[in-house]
Amino acid sequence: MSFRSPVRRTGMFLALSLCPILYLTAVADVRYTVKDLGSLGGARVGALGINSDGEVVGFAALPGSSALHAFLNDGGGIRDLGTFGGSQSTARAINRNESVVGWAVTGSGERHAFLLRSGSLLDLGTLGESPVDAWGVNDLDEVVGSYLNGPAERAYVWRAGVMTDLGTLGGTDSRAYAINNAGDIVGFARPTVNEEIHACRWRDGLVTDLGTLGGWASHAYDINENGKIVGWSMEDPNYISHAFEWVDGTMYDLGTLGGVYSAAFAINLQGVVVGTSTTLAGQQRAFLYDGIEMLDLNSLIPSDAGWRLVSAEDINDQGLIVGTGLFNGDYRGFLLAPLPGLGAEPPHGSATLSFAGAAPNPVLGGARFGFALPAPARVTLRLYDLHGRVVRTVADRNFDAGPGSIAWDGRGDDGGRLEQGIYWARLEAAGHALVRRVSVLH
């Protein structure tokens, strides 16, 4: 990142002092209807994947049993997809052709990956031993997952009946979670023989280490058609872990809902991200990240719906979201449908200039500043201390209309980390300015 010299402050302190301070507060904002996806007779259900037609897959318990079976809900009800003769199965993903992938237990008790195509389960085989799992599928019926190879787990891609080992970053293990229609694959791999695990991308036979947010582990769970990647990463050795978005070589911290943990599981074509996060009180909640801020999905459904949405697992390009939550005391699969006008576009409107401030806030090392522009404009973002002095010009460049974000590494214009304390972030664009409070902790 290149840094610009601080601009003259003539009149700036007065303008900052008189500018009203706007605090971000949780406001009831119903944007979705919520639907129970049904069950196979048991109490536990989890929805894991959705395609462009709104067809949903996952797992559901059988009556009076802890055994779980893969299911498909095509809008007309929930259907048991069966197994390979064993007791259990799980469906993880579905493409627009209604091809479903997951795993199923055989009659001999082995766990094999399957591809459901034209109503029948196809065993994908293995390059090593059982278990084998299928995590993702694109619209070309190319499947990715992992298999056991001796003591190691290895990522694979399955194309036209041929399973190919994807390799690692130099270590022993890897796993592939998702594949887009361009054939780009994401997952994790060990870079060496030590304990580190890094998010990675496989493209054209080459594997790229996506890094971490500072800790020793990260996983990449999904990639959209624009090549944007989301996942989870440890931030430090103290096991604080945050959701991330990886764009053009940079991993961005998406923050949390107030707790110490979050993970992003899916991203759609519009860049809307869903996942799960802990709150300040330690509760696990499903979240949506709209390119500006992380929102608790529980605050976006009717308050009397009777649900506590725990984890959002997938989102399609029409904005439909599936996941798992508590409903009448049982874990059930849910489907969220956006209200009219909130479909394929990110739900955070940008008819006027908006500025969400820093995420996370308090800032522990680095953050992203989310905003939205009503039209293309030059954006200037500066940080001020409590004396009105510019301590960092974070950005001064042109942006397109709509949601945007700016990364900050926690440093001032002098290259050193800002001291712990309170600062003001001022965003200027198109003749308007908004100010947000930023807390910096060490």
Tell me the DSSP string of 50-76: E-TT--EEEEEEPTTS--EEEEEE-SS
Residue 194 is predicted with a pLDDT of: 74
Residue 122 is predicted with a pLDDT of: 94
Q: Is residue 1 part of a domain?
A: no
| Better-predicted residue by pLDDT, 249 or 27 | 249
pLDDT category of residue 343 using cuts at 50, 70 and 90 = low
Residues 265 and 141 in one domain: yes
Residue 331 is predicted with a pLDDT of: 94
Say if residues 307 and 327 touch (Cβ distance below 8 Å). Answer: yes
The encoded tokens of residue 84 equal 């390979």
The encoded tokens of residue 408 equal 């900050």
Say if residues 426 and 382 touch (Cβ distance below 8 Å). Answer: yes
- Rounded (5°) CA angle 407-408-412: 155
Residue 6 has pLDDT above 80, yes or no: no
Residues 229 and 263 in one domain: yes
Question: Which of the 8 DSSP states describes residue 226?
Answer: T
Residue 309 has pLDDT above 90, yes or no: yes
Say if residues 219 and 210 touch (Cβ distance below 8 Å). Answer: no
Q: Is residue 7 part of a domain?
A: no
Domains held by the chain: number = 2
Residue 138 is predicted with a pLDDT of: 93
- DSSP, collapsed to helix, strand or coil, labels residue 46 as strand
> By mean pLDDT, which of 23-27, 47-51, 408-412 is the weakest?
23-27
Average pLDDT, the chain: 87
Q: How far apart are CA 428 and CA 248, in angstroms?
A: 25
* Residue 200 host element (H or E): strand 198-203
Residue 16 is predicted with a pLDDT of: 29
Residues 154 and 232 in one domain: yes
Residues 64 and 133 in one domain: yes
* Cβ-Cβ contacts under 8 Å for 271 (sequence gap 6 or more): 224, 226, 228, 291, 346, 403
Distances (CA, A) of 394 to 170, 213, 320, 407, 438: 36, 20, 35, 8, 13
Residues 415 and 328 in one domain: no
Q: Which residue among 305, 338, 371 closes a domain?
A: 338
Residue with tokens 């293990």: 173
pLDDT category of residue 1 using cuts at 50, 70 and 90 = very low
Q: How far apart are CA 46 and CA 128, in angstroms?
A: 29
Residues 228 and 269 in one domain: yes
The encoded tokens of residue 250 equal 């940079």
Residues 80 and 126 in one domain: yes
Residues 155 and 256 in one domain: yes
Residues 194 and 263 in one domain: yes
Q: Is residue 305 part of a domain?
A: yes
Q: Is residue 304 part of a domain?
A: yes
Q: How far apart are CA 209 and CA 198, in angstroms?
A: 7
| Domain membership of residue 374 as a residue range | 12-25+350-440
Question: Going along 235-376, which residue ranges are E strands?
Answer: 241-247, 250-253, 258-267, 273-279, 284-289, 294-296, 307-315, 321-327, 330-338, 354-359, 367-373
pLDDT category of residue 258 using cuts at 50, 70 and 90 = very high
Q: Is residue 373 part of a domain?
A: yes
Q: How large is the average pLDDT for residues 226-243? A: 88
Residue 66 is predicted with a pLDDT of: 84
- DSSP, collapsed to helix, strand or coil, labels residue 300 as helix
Residues 360 and 375 in one domain: yes
Residues 131 and 159 in one domain: yes
Distances (CA, A) of 96 to 99, 100, 118, 137, 140: 7, 10, 13, 10, 9
Q: Which residues pair with 331 in a beta bridge?
A: 326
For residues 408-433, one letter each, b for 16 or more C-beta atoms within 10 angstroms of the residue's C-beta and e for the rest, the string is: beebbbeeeebeeeebbbbbbbeeee
Nearest alpha carbon to residue 178 among 149, 199, 161, 153: 199
Q: Is residue 252 part of a domain?
A: yes
Edge-to-edge strand order for the sheet containing 32-36?
32-36, 330-338, 321-327, 307-315
Q: Which residue among 296, 312, 338 closes a domain?
A: 338
- DSSP, collapsed to helix, strand or coil, labels residue 347 as coil
Q: Is residue 3 part of a domain?
A: no
pLDDT > 90 in the chain, percent: 63
- DSSP, collapsed to helix, strand or coil, labels residue 16 as helix
> Which domain CATH number covers 322?
2.130.10.10
Distances (CA, A) of 161 to 126, 130, 157, 305: 11, 18, 10, 45
> Which domain CATH number covers 360?
2.60.40.4070
Q: Is residue 396 part of a domain?
A: yes
Residues 166 and 213 in one domain: yes
Q: Which residue among 280, 313, 338 closes a domain?
A: 338
